[in-house]
Amino acid sequence: MAVRKLGVLTSGGDCPGLNAVIRAIAHHAVSNYGWELWGIAYATQGLRQRQAIAIYPHSFDRQGPDPLLCSGGTILGSINRGDTLAQQAEILAGYADLGLDALIGIGGDGSLAILQQLARAGGWQFIGIPKTIDNDVAFTERAIGFDTAIHTVAEALLNLGSTAASHDRIMIAEVMGRQSGHLALHGGIAGGADVILLPEIPYRLPELCHYLQQLRDRWQRRYAVIAIAEGTHHPPEVDRSHAGLGEQLAHAIAAHDARLEARVTVLGHVQRGGQPVASDRLLAAQMGYAAVERIAAGASGEMMAWQGGRVVGVALDSVCLHSPTLVDPHSALVDTAAGLGIFLGDRNLAPWRGSACPTH
Ligand code: F6P
């Protein structure tokens, strides 16, 4: 069926680069294919409530650079909670009432799985675009927002490093990444962390403290920066009565060696905000363009994926099956971190080896 009205929505936790994807879709779909583009408010809630706005190219850039290219967040709004599938009938009815011929959904693995289910039930022509600072969507080397979040984490770690050095302290930064440590690993290496703790690699407290003592005694490095992913599992010797992973670690380190004074920073939603870096804007342009091309070609049930320097289409069903992806404890990047002398815990204790997904 020929496309006349294309919908676009953003779903799940926001991240930088979403507006740049919407912009790319608008330019290609409206200017080149002559379709109408409708932005759906608040993901599937907008379908249910029939809330959509027409999006045109050049709406915002008549007086200067396009804010859609550079702004964080999503102009459409998003949701990352609620039992969406319980509202399936209303959502499908809303989609039909809006008269959409096809839909592009920008989301993480959870949102894409829900949208794929709705698309199948409703017979929608649907294409997904991966976004998440966690970068744990299978079969894509990069999701929108990840590069910017790496930059944010790395900058924060560098800032922590300079104040840590002034006071001979251990700085612990809690990094986002619900189940996976991709962001902590990439941001930690780029930000010069001495220790990177991940959900995927177990560590023992005595070894960690020994490493910190060695830094001090052997190299006269009297401070250290620790990046700890939010899903990390502490070993039994860490007392969990304090609130928060970072605080628990800080107390455990100080209890082990009183010379090791630690402070904690929870980077939190700062990691999801801000302007997308150039590489995220570039990825957004390529994924937005490619998604429109796939819609024009009549494709459905695909996700745009970044593999080997280009965008390809992969089956959404396999993406959902293999997501979220974890850090491979034996990947080249983990080897690199270990080679740089970063403490990562004990990779031989990692319960899981190798990636189910060839691109992670
Ligand atoms: O999945 C993205 C993410 O930012 C995770 O890294 C984090 O655990 C979670 O979302 C936070 O969600 P919320 O915005 O609901 O607090």
Both structure tokens of 290: 């490619």
CATH class of 5-145+276-322: alpha beta
Q: SS3 of 71, please?
A: coil
133 lines ligand 1 (CB under 6 A): yes
User: Residue 352: its pLDDT value, please?
Assistant: 65
User: Residue 349: its pLDDT value, please?
Assistant: 85
178 lines ligand 1 (CB under 6 A): yes
pLDDT digits (tens, 9 = 90+) for 214-273: 999 999 999 999 999 999 999 999 999 999 999 999 999 999 999 999 999 999 999 999
Distance in Å, CA 255 to ligand 1 centroid: 31
Compute how many other C-beta atoms are within 10 angstroms of the C-beta atom of residue 4. Answer: 13
110 lines ligand 1 (CB under 6 A): no
Pick the CATH number of 149-272+328-349 from 3.40.50.2300, 3.40.50.300, 3.50.50.60, 3.40.50.460: 3.40.50.460
User: Residue 139: its pLDDT value, please?
Assistant: 98
pLDDT digits (tens, 9 = 90+) for 292-311: 999 999 999 999 999 999 99
User: Residue 350: its pLDDT value, please?
Assistant: 87
80 lines ligand 1 (CB under 6 A): yes
Mean pLDDT of the chain: 96
Which residue lies with its CA nearest to atom 12 of ligand 1?
A: 13
Query: Which positions are annotated as active-site residues?
Result: 134
**Portions of the chain given CATH number 3.40.50.460:** 149-272+328-349
Of the candidates 72, 16, 10, 5, which has an alpha carbon nearest to the alpha carbon of residue 45? 10
Which residue lies with its CA nearest to atom 6 of ligand 1?
A: 177
pLDDT digits (tens, 9 = 90+) for 45-84: 999 999 999 999 999 999 999 999 999 999 999 999 889 9
Query: DSSP letters of 325-343?
Result: PPP-TTSHHHHHHHHTT-B
Ligand 1: which atom is nearest the Cα of residue 133?
A: 2
Residue with tokens 């930000």: 191
**Portions of the chain given CATH number 3.40.50.450:** 5-145+276-322
245 lines ligand 1 (CB under 6 A): no
pLDDT digits (tens, 9 = 90+) for 182-227: 999 999 999 999 999 999 999 999 999 999 999 999 999 999 999 9
